[in-house]
Amino acid sequence: MYRTALARTYRPRRFAELVGQDHVASTLRVAVETGRAAHAYLFCGPRGIGKTTAARVLAMALNCSERQDGEPCGVCESCTSIWLGRTSLDVVEIDAASNRGVDDARDLRERAMYAPSDEKRYKVYIVDEAHMLTREAWNALLKILEEPPPRVVFVFATTEPQKIRQSAAPVLSRCQRFDFRRVSVSDLMGRLESVVEQEGSLGRFRRAASHCPTGGGRRPGRAFAPRPGTLVLRRHGVGRGRTPHAWSGGRGAVRRAPRHRPRG
Ligand SMILES: Nc1ncnc2c1ncn2[C@@H]1O[C@H](COP(=O)(O)OP(=O)(O)O)[C@@H](O)[C@H]1O
Ligand SMILES: [Mg+2]
Ligand SMILES: [Zn+2]
């Protein structure tokens, strides 16, 4: 689907490209630069604001041989493979929603005990939807979080940190926590403008809209299916034959979705 392709094409490759999360990006970059990355991080915040992306950039930065000032090069083989989310020996992404039990956690713990594939590399375990892990699974992980092997970094990402507090409070004190912020409208507009500029035309936006499962085809003005209260793009923003300038006006190009969806 084009929508995925666009999100993938423009997924940041460097900390500096993460929009609206400067507090996270600069702390992580400096930690990598000074060799002081934590053993475990907790990335909290709503969906789609860069938690997984930041975790991958961190894994790229830790493992990039061309790193500069804590930023990964983004293009070497190691960076590319991590950026694409390919599973390797050293960087593993785990969806806790489907691997939530104690056996999964033990398996993870055992794999993490092995040294990275090369003495310069780091093992990074990115555990998505971490609040889905059972209490027993957290218990199995607690020991390794208390006495982490060298060059192993865990990144737990969650939309619901309060559930982790309920089921595994001691884990929180073992992790460095970052609360990701909602991206502001002006940051979002800036990002859209830069994407439109790089695309050179609105072609892919129109196709994305027409492939949108809920109504994009019938309503070419919509790049995303809006839920009430979420941001949508105005009709003229992605309408037929319009130039990218419609975007640069800024004001009025984005509005809130109506509380009740209009018919049709
Ligand atoms: N802060 C951000 N800056 C730039 N792009 C972002 C940001 N957050 C999300 N994206 C875009 O949205 C896509 C999904 O983000 P992701 O990191 O998977 O979100 P999360 O893990 O928080 O749900 C990314 O591939 C990227 O293209
Ligand atoms: Mg994610
Ligand atoms: Zn690199």
- Fold of the domain built from segment(s) 6-179: Rossmann fold (3.40.50)
CB atoms within 10 A of CB 200: 9
Q: Where are the domains of the chain?
A: 6-179, 185-256
pLDDT of residue 31: 98
Query: How far from 186 is each of 41, 138, 182, 246, CA to CA, in Å?
Result: 28, 39, 12, 15
Pocket lining: 156 vs ligand 1, CB cutoff 6 Å: no
pLDDT of residue 17: 95
Cα of 85 from ligand 2 centre, angstroms: 11
- Amino acid letter at 105? A
State whether residue 83 is helix, strand or coil: helix
pLDDT of residue 199: 82
Helix (H) / strand (E) element for 8: namely helix 2-9
CA pair distance 131, 128, nearest whole angstrom: 8
pLDDT of residue 211: 62
Under-50 pLDDT residues of the chain: 1, 214-226, 229-232, 234-257, 262, 264
pLDDT of residue 134: 94
* Residue 127 in tokens: 């555990």
* Residue 262 in tokens: 């209009």
pLDDT of residue 212: 54
Instruction: Specify the pTM.
Output: 0.80
Cα of 160 from ligand 2 centre, angstroms: 12
At 25-46, the pLDDT tens digits run 999 999 999 999 999 999 999 9
